[in-house]
């Protein structure tokens, strides 16, 4: 039975990690969060120790190690800008690490983590659950079995509505979240490079607090992408259906459906990690490079290769 510690127990995504720990037959022995709204732990591991002060949590992890009962894994669900420090803590505590997306905010952070992996002999694993989604796996096989030199045209849109709280929280602070492309887009960029190869061009048309859009040219795909947390940007059909989230991946007019099927992907990720098939630092690198570039590059004039939703939204606000 693998023994786990969890950092960020009060976070939105933490229950999925608790569920995955439970469903893989493992044990959560201790958890930390500076906020104490962690009643969800009662549904999974009511006997786990809990700390709101990192210093006490650190001391507890060290005592477990020295007493011969160390944790095997540290799972990290903390705010994005803390991932790097918390991963380092896990490795130096003698544990393997499982970290939520984005692994870190900057590519050079990954280089530093690789050095600590080498020093400690422990492994960092990133949750890249889209790689385990049946529809995405089927798409990858379709491309692999298709014409060898074909370049595909794709439109990717992801809109997930968020209220006013989002901008006030750490997620609205680009220095902490990395901005919208990093916070909600990194999984999709990982999926695209996993299937269609490395980046040849990366142009950004829109970069705002609650919207981002641009164009990616990959080895085997030309991708127009659009990301938003603003409910105003939802297509009318989605609003009429009273839905708050819209995921769309069109490949040359063919819609790839992957709105459902996310429920058990964290458990599948944990199963693969424990079997030695996790996604490590090198797998995380391409998507972190992409979002870092999106965050820092100059905007490109919206004249060509832009996602159709950009034009639609600009018409709504009277820009055209």
**In sequence order, which residues have a C-beta less than 8 Å from that of residue 265 and are 6 or more positions away?**
129, 130, 132, 133
**Higher per-residue confidence, 100 vs 303:** 100
Phi, psi (rounded to 5 degrees) for 112: -65, -40
Considering the chain, what percentage of its residues have pLDDT values greater than 90?
84
Query: What are the structural domains, with CATH classification, of the chain?
Result: 3-126 (3.40.50.720), 130-262+279-316 (3.30.360.10)
Q: Residue 143, class by beta-carbon neighbours within 10 Å (0-12 exposed, 13-18 middle, 19+ buried)? A: middle
- Whether 232 shows a pLDDT value over 60: the answer reads yes
Residue 320's pLDDT is 44
**In sequence order, which residues have a C-beta less than 8 Å from that of residue 229 and are 6 or more positions away?**
159, 160, 161, 162, 166, 180, 184, 210, 211
Residue 17's pLDDT is 98
Residue 313's pLDDT is 57
- DSSP H or E stretch at residue 273: helix 265-274
**In sequence order, which residues have a C-beta less than 8 Å from that of residue 63 and are 6 or more positions away?**
none
Residue 316's pLDDT is 42
The answer to whether 158 and 307 have CB atoms below 8 angstroms apart is no
What's the pTM value of the predicted model, to 2 decimals? 0.93
Residue 43's pLDDT is 97
The answer to whether 205 and 302 have CB atoms below 8 angstroms apart is yes
pLDDT digits 0-9 by tens, 109-140: 999 999 999 999 999 999 999 999 999 999 99
- Residue 15's SS3 state is helix
Mean pLDDT, residues 46-53: 98
Mean pLDDT, residues 149-169: 94
- Residue 72's SS3 state is coil
Residue 44's pLDDT is 98
């Amino acid at each position: 039975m693998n023994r786990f510690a969890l950092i960020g127990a009060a976070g939105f995504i933490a229950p999925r990690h608790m569920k995955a720990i439970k469903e893989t037959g493992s044990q959560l022995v201790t958890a930390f969060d500076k906020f104490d709204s962690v009643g969800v732990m009662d549904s999974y591991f009511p006997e786990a120790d809990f700390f709101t002060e990192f210093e006490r949590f650190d001391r507890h992890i060290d005592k477990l190690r020295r007493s011969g009962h160390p944790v095997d894994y540290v799972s990290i669900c903390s705010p994005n800008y803390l991932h790097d420090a918390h991963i380092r803590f896990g490795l130096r505590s003698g544990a393997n690490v499982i970290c939520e997306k984005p692994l870190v905010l900057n590519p050079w952070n990954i280089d530093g983590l690789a050095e600590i992996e080498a020093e400690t002999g422990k492994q960092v694993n990133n949750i890249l659950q889209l790689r385990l989604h049946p529809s995405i796996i089927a798409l990858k096989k379709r491309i692999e079995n298709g014409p060898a030199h074909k370049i595909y045209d794709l439109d990717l849109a992801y809109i997930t509505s968020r209220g006013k709280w989002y901008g006030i929280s750490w997620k609205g602070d680009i220095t902490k979240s990395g901005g919208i492309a990093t916070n909600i887009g990194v999984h999709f960029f990982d999926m695209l490079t996993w299937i269609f190869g490395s980046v040849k061009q990366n142009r950004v048309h829109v970069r705002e607090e609650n919207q981002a859009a641009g164009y990616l040219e990959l080895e085997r795909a030309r991708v127009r992408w659009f990301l938003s947390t603003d409910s105003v940007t939802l297509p009318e059909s989605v609003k009429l259906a009273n839905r708050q989230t819209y995921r769309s991946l069109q490949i040359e007019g063919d819609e790839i459906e992957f709105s459902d099927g996310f429920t058990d992907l964290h458990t599948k990720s944990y199963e693969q990690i424990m079997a030695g098939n996790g996604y490590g630092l090198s797998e995380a690198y391409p998507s972190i490079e992409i979002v870092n570039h999106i965050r820092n590059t100059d905007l490109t004039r919206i004249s060509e290769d832009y996602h159709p939703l950009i034009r639609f939204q600009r018409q709504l606000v009277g820009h055209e």
